[in-house]
Amino acid sequence: MTKLLILLVLVLGILAIAQLARVYELTSRMRGKREEDISPADNRLNANLMWVFLITYFGFFLWLLIRYSDKMLPIAASEQGESTDWLLNFNWVILFIPFVITNVLLFTFAAKYVHNKNRRAFWQPHNNKLELIWTVIPAAVLAVIIIYGLRTWNTITSPASPDAIQVELYAKQFDWTARYPGADGVLGASDFRLINGTNPLGIVTPESVAGRLLELQEEIAGIDDMLANDVLPDSKRDELTDQVERLRRHRSRVINLRTVMELDIKENGNASIYMAGADDIVTKDFYLPVKQEARLLIRSRDVIHSAYIPHMRVQMNAVPGMTTSMKMVPTITTDSMRTIPEVVNKVNDINAIRQGQGKEAYVFDYLLLCNKICGASHYNMQMTLTVTSAAEYEAWYKEAQKKPFQATDAEAVPEPAAAPSVDDNAVPADAQAAVRPN
Amino acid sequence: MGATTTAEAGHHGHDAHHHHEESFISKWIFSQDHKMIGKQFLVTAIFMAWVAVIMSIIFRLQLAWPGEGFAFTNFFLGEKWAPGGILDPNMYLALVTIHGTIMVFFVLTGGLSGTFANLLIPLQVGARDMASGFINMLSYWFFFLSSMVMLSSLFVEGGPASAGWTIYPPLSALPQTIPGSGAGMTLWLVSMTLFIASSLMGGLNYVVTILNLRTKGMKMTRMPLTMWAIFITAVLGVLSFPVLLSAALLLLMDRVMGTSFYLSEIHVAGEALDNVGGSPILFQHLFWFLGHPEVYIVLLPALGITSEIISTNARKPIFGYRAMIGSILAIGFLSFIVWGHHMFITGMNPFLGSVFVFTTLLIAIPSAVKVFNYITTLWRGNIVFTPGMLFSIGLVATFIAGGLTGIILADSALDINVHDTYFVVAHFHIVMGMSAIFGMFAGIYHWFPKMYGKMMNTKLGYAHFWITFVCAFGVFFPMHFIGLAGAPRRYYSYSEFPMFDTVVDLNVLVTVFAIIGAMAQILFTYNFFYSIWRGPKAVQNPWRSNTLEWTTPVEHLHGNWPGPIPTVYRWPYDYSKPGKEDDFVPQTVPLEAGEEEH
Ligand code: HEM
Ligand SMILES: [Cu+2]
Ligand SMILES: [Cu+2]
């Protein structure tokens, strides 16, 4: 209601201004003044407003800086973040100088050289020396920016060391899943055709391939059966025919995959990439040890997502059909971060606000969020990252290893998704049962 | 230079004094007169801009007060997309997408180039009309049709395209992933195809007219900077829009014919798709090969307009005319080799990334030169504050802010952390939403007398400028801070992330400024339409300007000049030239004996 009133007042205000301007126009027309003749008073008014604006502009900038600088991202929690934060500040310092100089000159000149009919503008079509100077100076400054920038960029993007911890971050609408290698230290192969309720990442192992083939077989048989025996409207029949054809194509491709896999296993035995998947850990927990390099491999199942961990200052897109990667070295554990005064203050500020709104309290955590438009729930596609000491990480990892992707006993089949997403449910329940690895 | 008077023997055969009365249809609707076509583009663009503004208010309301119902939202979207006035998340994305599409393509490309290229090219180079009036007319009608198709997509089942104005596949290719990628997306692609056809027809006409139909004495180096800017803009458009067209066609094929240009290894809605071997990244390369030149297609005409207006109203020659031309050329060339800066974190080869950092930062040099030259033009000028002049100064101020944040974004190591956050939103709104729009407003105020033979109200122009200027900063400046707090763009709401709670009040501030700023555009719209009917009659050369368009009579006539096309003897910036009585010397005045050109 108050908002409506404010709106009403604004509209009326605007209309009032419009009317006033018209009245003014009529009176000045009666006095024989032409619209294009800008009166000295008008010129002076605008010149003064130029000064006022300059001051307001810088004032607004300063106010934002003072009021919000502690509300920006807290101290970087990764090595790479430390270097990019430094670089960012370095750039701000450099850029602040031309920002101030050019704005001051622009508004001052505009205000100062306001029209005066007794004066003539200075005739100055060009000045080659001046122009040369202000081509060369920006070029030199940019050279510095480029050199520092690329140095950092090269360090950030250089290959990770071979003994970095490998974690796969897997995106789908609208959640993240992490995958850790098992004791062999190798992430198994994966293929999107194997994805189903129990194998959300499509990990390729002899068992998962066999299970998926069985599942496809049953689905095909089920549809064939319907086509043969049920009375169906034509449209439905066409749809089912299409579907069964697609399933057959998939089955033949999975069979190809099986051939490739079997050859590879024959050749490499247990070293085969297809033997590496069974002990992988598929989990909703994302843990990393502090001070150790991590290599994050990023994949997507459906659309482009982006793995963004603002506190670490890292980001990489998740692109279906390819694996991207980034490396990082976390420098502060989640627990220590929670005790840093800057963070404590920030959390307190946040909780003061949340309390006012009756929302539950906030505890600091590193977050992995999605930063590429990916659909309706793009705004809520997050996963917590927990950075711990090396010892705690080992303990967590040991525990997690007890629930590998493919357990040898049927009880321990992982239930990775916290809540199964809609598309997983689309697989018929009995088909799911059929693929339970044995 | 092949300056000729070929325009005199125009294709339409009748010379300046045309004898037959034009019918209503051929004068007002299917007009082939460049001035009328320019006005048609402008009015269409104003309408489209309002659509986009209303959309932005709807989603700004949601961002400031997430989850609250608004009668305003409900009024425009109905129960389907805003039950109880609460915006639907899919509709949020749809509005953001269509808002961006309309602003970038329909307002700042079609609207800006369409209006001023059409209005000014023949008038400023001294031609009777465009090289082909018929193709020019088609260009407008394709634009109109394209606008209608885009608007119609708002009403289809599933809603309009929702994958962002950059329509990255697979999101834009698969209706299973977002409802807007159904019929809405198909209409988006159809609309853009029409749009591209329109802008190619327009662009070729602009290039040919500028190259071939200049009047006697109008050497390339005597052309106003508006002409240079529009010329290079047209060249950029002609070279880059076909690439967008191919990207769109391939996407269309992926959508309807089952091809796999952009799709590979996708499992969606419980189903593995057949597509293998394509790459979504290919689309991004094709898109940004247009996309980056596009941002200069948007900006260059505004810079050209501003050069003209600043020089005229500072009563002083534009400083460094040749450097200004040089920087337009440099920007135009470089804009083709920087597209990768939109893709630093797509997994591209880091070395390739470095190359794009280098080329992108090179663009900052000509941009800086332009800013310095504008400022120097003001120095010791004799400045008349017309509304057009105010908007031009506003453009320079915003170009400074936007150019500087561009340097941060171009630094790949820094872009990692701000890419796709509100920082980018701030950056491109300051250069497009402010600089380019200000250039457009400046042009409208400045050339309104030429378009309609009437004057717009100056006082309303002042109010419009100052409210808009303050509000636009109020809207876009704080967004840098929201972005540096790590807040991603294209989020329906931030309430799932307590970490952003402390910048939420900035979102409220932004929305309040946005609403006031939008209201100020009522002033403009009122002033514009009211002045067309009731504004005071304009004189021939109200701003005491040198360029050729002010030598045509106030009343429009087909063929522009009643007599022969005037001959040009000097550059257009002889303002306050020593030894001259007046503080301006039109281009049609011959050089005196011993007078140096400049
Ligand atoms: C000194 C000049 C400029 C530089 C160095 C620069 C640099 C950049 C960079 C590196 C990005 C990518 C940021 C990211 O997505 O993470 C970007 C985005 C953008 N820039 Fe600029 N820019 C400049 C001027 C302009 C101008 C003049 C315009 C328009 C008239 C413009 C419009 C845009 C737009 C629309 C985007 C965002 C596209 C999107 O992702 O939706 N920029 N700019
Ligand atoms: Cu996502
Ligand atoms: Cu770009």
In angstroms, rounded to a whole number, what is the distance separating the alpha carbons of residues B53 and B530?
21
pLDDT band at A421 (very low <50, low <70, confident <90, very high): very low
Is residue A316 in a domain? yes
**Cα of B431 to ligand 3 centre, how many Å?**
11
One domain for residues A231 and A203: yes
In angstroms, rounded to a whole number, what is the distance separating the alpha carbons of residues B47 and B65?
28
In angstroms, rounded to a whole number, what is the distance separating the alpha carbons of residues B116 and B414?
37
pLDDT (tens digit, 9 = 90+) per residue, B526-575?
999 999 998 899 999 999 999 999 999 999 888 899 989 999 999 999 99
pLDDT attached to residue A251: 93
In angstroms, rounded to a whole number, what is the distance separating the alpha carbons of residues B557 and B553?
8
Q: Are B319 and A130 contacting, i.e. CB atoms less than 8 angstroms apart?
A: no
In angstroms, rounded to a whole number, what is the distance separating the alpha carbons of residues B6 and B334?
34
pLDDT attached to residue B170: 94
Nearest CA to ligand 1 atom 22: B406
DSSP element (H, E) containing B497: none
**Cα of B339 to ligand 1 centre, how many Å?**
10
| Among A30-34, A365-369, A411-415, the least confident range | A411-415
Q: Tell me how long chain B is.
A: 598
CB distance from A33 to chain B under 8 Å? no
Q: How far is A213 from chain B (nearest CA, A)?
A: 14
Nearest CA to ligand 1 atom 5: B406
Is residue A230 in a domain? yes
Is residue A228 in a domain? yes
CA angle B254, B260, B261 (to 5 degrees): 85
pLDDT attached to residue A2: 62
pLDDT attached to residue B32: 87
pLDDT attached to residue A428: 39
Q: State the DSSP code for B274.
A: S
Nearest CA to ligand 1 atom 35: B428
pLDDT attached to residue A25: 73
What average pLDDT does the segment A258-286 reach? 93
| Domain spans in chain B, listed from the N-terminal domain onward | 33-263+274-551
Instruction: Write the CA distances from B464 to B301, B390, B435, B456, B509, integer angstroms.
Output: 22, 10, 15, 12, 20
Number of CB pairs < 8 Å for A and B? 410
Is residue A196 in a domain? yes
Burial pattern B516-529, b for ≥16 Cβ within 10 A else e, equals bbbbbbbbbebbbe
Q: List all residues of chain B from 287 to 326 with a beta carbon under 8 Å from chain A.
A: 314-317, 319-323
Burial pattern A352-366, b for ≥16 Cβ within 10 A else e, equals ebeeeeeeeebebbb
- What are the 10-residue block averages of pLDDT along chain B, 598 residues in total? 40 44 73 92 96 95 91 88 91 96 96 95 94 93 97 93 95 94 95 96 96 94 96 96 95 93 93 90 95 94 97 95 95 94 94 95 94 96 96 97 96 95 96 95 97 93 96 96 95 93 91 94 94 91 95 90 93 92 92 83
Query: CA-nearest residue of chain B to A307?
Result: B345
One domain for residues A357 and A215: no
Q: Are A329 and A292 contacting, i.e. CB atoms less than 8 angstroms apart?
A: yes
One domain for residues A286 and A395: yes
In angstroms, rounded to a whole number, what is the distance separating the alpha carbons of residues B209 and B204?
8
pLDDT attached to residue A320: 95
Assess whether pLDDT exceeds 50 at residue A295: yes
**Cα of B287 to ligand 3 centre, how many Å?**
11
Nearest CA to ligand 1 atom 19: B428
Q: How far is B146 from chain A (nearest CA, A)?
A: 25
Task: Say which of B369, B493, B501 has its CB closest to residue A353.
Answer: B501
Q: Which residues pair with A179 in a beta bridge?
A: A168, A282
Q: Could you list the beta-strand ranges (E) of B343-485.
A: none
CA angle B367, B370, B373 (to 5 degrees): 150
Number of domains into which chain A is organized: 2
Residue B13 falls in which region: left (phi positive, over 0), alpha (psi -120 to 50) or beta: left
Q: Closest-lying ligand to the alpha carbon of B365?
A: 1
* CB-CB neighbours of B12 under 10 Å: 14
Q: Which residues of A touch B455 (CB under 8 A)?
A: 34-36
**Pocket of ligand 1 from Cβ distances under 6 Å:** B 166, 295, 298-299, 341-342, 360, 363-364, 367, 402-403, 406-407, 409-410, 415, 419, 424, 427-428, 431-432, 436
Task: Say which of A56, A106, A310 has its CB closest to residue B393.
Answer: A106
pLDDT attached to residue A284: 93
Q: List all residues of chain A from 151 to 210 with a beta carbon under 8 Å from chain B.
A: 152-154, 156-158, 172-173, 191-193, 195, 202
Assess whether pLDDT exceeds 70 at residue A410: no
Q: Could you list the beta-strand ranges (E) of B363-475.
A: none
pLDDT band at A436 (very low <50, low <70, confident <90, very high): very low
pLDDT band at A429 (very low <50, low <70, confident <90, very high): very low
Residue to substitute from A20, A22, A29, A102, interface B, most B β-carbons within 10 A: A102
CB distance from A212 to chain B under 8 Å? no
Is residue A45 in a domain? no
* φ/ψ of residue A324, rounded to 5: -105, 170
Interacting residues of A279 by C-beta distance below 8 A, sequence separation 6+? A181, A182, A183, A184, A401, A404, A405, A406
Q: Are B313 and B383 contacting, i.e. CB atoms less than 8 angstroms apart?
A: yes
Q: Which residues of B touch A127 (CB under 8 A)?
A: 319-320
pLDDT attached to residue B294: 93
Is residue A76 in a domain? no
pLDDT attached to residue B20: 52
Contact across the interface for A426 and B380, Cβ inside 8 Å: no
In angstroms, rounded to a whole number, what is the distance separating the alpha carbons of residues B258 and A26?
66
Task: Say which of A120, A195, A374 has its CB closest to residue B576.
Answer: A120
pLDDT (tens digit, 9 = 90+) per residue, A3-39?
666 777 777 877 787 777 777 777 777 777 788 888 9
Q: List all residues of chain B from 399 to 438 with a beta carbon under 8 Å from chain A.
A: 400-401, 404, 407-408, 411-414, 416-417, 419-421
In angstroms, rounded to a whole number, what is the distance separating the alpha carbons of residues B248 and B287?
9
Question: What CATH homologous superfamily does B33-263+274-551 map to?
Answer: Cytochrome c oxidase-like, subunit I domain (1.20.210.10)
Q: State whether residue B272 is helix, strand or coil.
A: strand
* CB-CB neighbours of B85 under 10 Å: 16
Q: Which domain covers residue A353, as residue numbers?
A: 164-188+281-404
CA angle B365, B371, B377 (to 5 degrees): 135
Nearest to B342 by CA among B235, B223, B224, B424: B424
pLDDT attached to residue A3: 65
What average pLDDT does the segment A90-114 reach? 96
Assess whether pLDDT exceeds 50 at residue A256: yes
The structure tokens 């309609």 sit at B452
* Full 3-state SS string of chain A: CHHHHHHHHHHHHHHHHHHHHHHHHHHHHHCCCCCCCCCHHHHHHHHHHHHHHHHHHHHHHHHHHHHHHHHCCCCCCEHHHHHHHHHHHHHHHHHHHHHHHHHHHHHHHHHHCECCCCCCCCCCCCCHHHHHHHHHHHHHHHHHHHHHHHHHHHHHHCCCCCCCEEEEEEEECCEEEEEECCCCCCCCCECHHHCECCECCCECCHHHHHHHHHHHHHHHHHHHHHHHHCCCCHHHHHHHHHHHHHHHHHHHHHHHHHHHHHHHHHHHHHHCHHHCCCCCEEECCEEEECCCCEEEEEEECCCCEEEEEHHHCEEEEECCCCCEEEEECECCCHHHHCCCHHHHHHHHHHHHHHHHCCCCCCCCCEEEEECCCCCCCHHHCEEEEEEECHHHHHHHHHHHHCCCCCCCCHHHCCCCCCCCCHHHHCCCHHHHHHHCCC
Structure tokens at B328: 């337009």
One domain for residues A177 and A227: no
pLDDT attached to residue B22: 65
* φ/ψ of residue A409, rounded to 5: -100, 140
Is residue A59 in a domain? no
Radius of gyration of chain B (CA): 24
Query: CA-nearest residue of chain B to A80?
Result: B413
Percent of chain A at pLDDT > 90 equals 72
Q: Which residues pair with A318 in a beta bridge?
A: A305
pLDDT band at A229 (very low <50, low <70, confident <90, very high): confident
One domain for residues A230 and A306: no
Is residue A36 in a domain? no
Alpha helices (H) along B10-111: 24, 34-64, 71-81, 89-101
Supply the pTM of this predicted model: 0.91
pLDDT attached to residue A407: 65
Nearest to A274 by CA among A190, A199, A183: A190
One domain for residues A305 and A337: yes
pLDDT attached to residue A56: 96
Nearest CA to ligand 1 atom 14: B419
pLDDT band at A408 (very low <50, low <70, confident <90, very high): low
One domain for residues A417 and A302: no
Q: Closest-lying ligand to the alpha carbon of B233?
A: 1
CA atoms within 13 A on the CB side of B259: 13
What is the ipTM metric for this complex?
Answer: 0.92
